[in-house]
């Protein structure tokens, strides 16, 4: 994995950093390949249970989490490299995952950058963050999930306005509408995202993965399908070793020692 996407672990948490601040963290082929490789590492490591995705905004006069697709790469005929077979745009937006990813946004997330945010599970943003799908201003459409994920996240009316005007909306509005889980002062989004990720790691990982799967399916499945899915995931969790540990820890009034088994 190249330095353009950095990967490190802190306990049970994988920290993934988009590291192309000189290009506003725009997605080119190297970023897409690097981000997909980072998610592969997160998914493959049984000792890591949650990912935190952030962006390096060092040296930027106006911080940008991600400006979306690298238009220079597209103009030079490299548009295909911005997508991967398994992950779609940025190697991430359509990547099937078991483990939750919290995204920390401390600047503008626009176009494909906003679509990356929408593909994460939880969003922590600072008050200097903003979100938008600017494609209509360039006679383009948001092709990496934004046109259906943004209405799910903030409601059709607010999403329609943002999409048709191409104008960004503030972190406070994103928080009020339900896209952002936690809002912070500038420069503190990553630390708060790590606190949130740590809270998730305190819960049983198999139960977290199963619950996430059902919640995501709720956006497009009918109640009968969701009932069957919930029952199936419940049965899997009940067969795990961590069920006994959870019950024993409760009885003994101690913190559980989850094994993810």
178-193 residue pLDDT tens? 999 999 999 999 999 9
pLDDT (tens digit, 9 = 90+) per residue, 51-64? 999 999 998 889 99
Order of strands across the sheet with 64-66? Answer: 64-66, 108-110, 130-132, 169-170
* Calpha distance 58→54 (Å, rounded): 12
Q: Which position has the higher pLDDT, 76 or 234?
A: 234
1 has pLDDT over 70 = no
pLDDT (tens digit, 9 = 90+) per residue, 147-157? 999 999 999 99
| Averaged pLDDT score across all residues of the chain | 94
Please pick, among 8, 36, 58, 135, the residue that the annotation labels catalytic: 135
Q: Which position has the higher pLDDT, 24 or 75?
A: 24
- 135 is annotated as an active-site residue: yes
For helices 241-252 and 223-238, the axis angle rounded to 10 degrees is: 70
18 has pLDDT over 70 = yes
Neighbours of 224 (CB within 10 A): 8
80 has pLDDT over 90 = no
Say what the pTM is. 0.93
Please pick, among 36, 43, 115, 245, the residue that the annotation labels catalytic: 115
Q: Which position has the higher pLDDT, 78 or 165?
A: 165
- 58 is annotated as an active-site residue: no
Please calculate the CA angle 171-173-175 and round it to the nearest 5 degrees: 70
Residues 84-101 have a mean pLDDT of 95
* Calpha distance 150→229 (Å, rounded): 25
């Amino acid at each position: 994995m190249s330095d353009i996407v950095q990967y490190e672990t802190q306990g049970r948490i994988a920290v993934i950093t988009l590291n192309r601040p000189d290009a506003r963290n725009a997605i080119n082929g190297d970023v897409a390949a690097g981000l997909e490789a980072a998610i592969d590492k997160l998914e493959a490591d049984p000792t890591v249970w949650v990912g935190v995705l952030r962006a390096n905004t060092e040296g930027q006069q106006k911080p940008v989490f991600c400006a979306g697709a690298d238009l220079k790469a597209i103009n030079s005929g490299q548009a295909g490299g911005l997508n991967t077979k398994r992950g779609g745009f940025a190697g991430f937006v359509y990547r099937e995952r078991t483990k939750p990813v919290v995204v920390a946004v401390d600047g503008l997330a626009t176009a494909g950058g906003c679509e990356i945010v929408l593909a994460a599970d939880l969003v922590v943003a600072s008050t200097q963050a903003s979100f938008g799908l600017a494609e209509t201003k360039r006679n383009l459409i948001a092709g990496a999930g934004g046109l259906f994920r943004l209405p799910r996240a903030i409601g059709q009316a607010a999403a329609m306005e943002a999409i048709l005007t191409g104008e960004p909306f503030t972190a406070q509005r994103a928080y009020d509408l339900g896209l952002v889980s936690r809002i912070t002062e500038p420069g503190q989004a990553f630390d708060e995202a790590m606190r949130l990720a740590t809270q998730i790691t305190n819960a049983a990982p198999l139960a977290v993965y199963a619950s996430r799967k059902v919640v995501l399916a709720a956006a497009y499945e009918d109640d009968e399908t969701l009932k069957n899915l919930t029952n199936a995931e419940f049965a899997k969790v009940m067969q795990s070793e961590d069920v006994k540990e959870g019950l024993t820890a409760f009885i003994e009034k101690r913190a559980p020692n989850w094994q993810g088994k």
